[in-house]
């Protein structure tokens, strides 16, 4: 199980992402997972600030979750025209006989 908490702004209430830590560890030592559309470079500076207004943030709505499974990728079909269906050889052999 993982411990997950939302990173929320004091000023505007915007959720910039989540802090995730493995079971038994504090969220202070967690990994920042940015929300969709948020630049992940915010956490690279070493201090977390709001992605919208730059204000101070706090951890809200702490919960436990199961780790997310690995993403599944599907192979694309080959580009181009679809194959033409051909009649079965036994059907075409009897077509010319009256």
How do residues 27-73 score in pLDDT, each as one tens digit? 888 888 888 888 777 666 678 888 889 899 999 999 888 877 777 77
Residue 56 lies in a domain: yes
Residue 45 lies in a domain: yes
Domain that holds residue 35: 2-65
- What's the mean pLDDT when you consider all of the chain? 80
Share of the chain above pLDDT 70, in %: 79
pLDDT for the residue numbered 97: 55
Residue 96 lies in a domain: no
Residue 76 lies in a domain: no
Residue 36 lies in a domain: yes
* CA distances for 23 relative to 3, 16, 43, 59, 65, angstroms: 6, 22, 22, 17, 10
Structural domain count, the chain:
1
* pLDDT tens for each residue of 61-90: 998 888 777 777 777 666 777 667 777 777
User: Bridge partners of 65?
Assistant: 2
Residue 11 lies in a domain: yes
């Amino acid at each position: 199980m993982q411990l997950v908490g939302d990173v929320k702004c004091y000023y505007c209430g915007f959720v910039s992402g989540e802090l995730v830590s493995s079971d038994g560890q504090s969220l202070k030592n967690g990994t920042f997972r940015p929300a969709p559309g948020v630049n992940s470079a915010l956490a690279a500076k070493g201090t977390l600030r709001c992605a919208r207004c730059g204000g101070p943030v706090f951890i809200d709505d702490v919960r436990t979750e199961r780790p997310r499974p690995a993403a599944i990728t599907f192979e694309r079909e080959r580009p181009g025209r679809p194959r033409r269906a051909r009649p079965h050889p036994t059907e075409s052999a009897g077509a010319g006989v009256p």
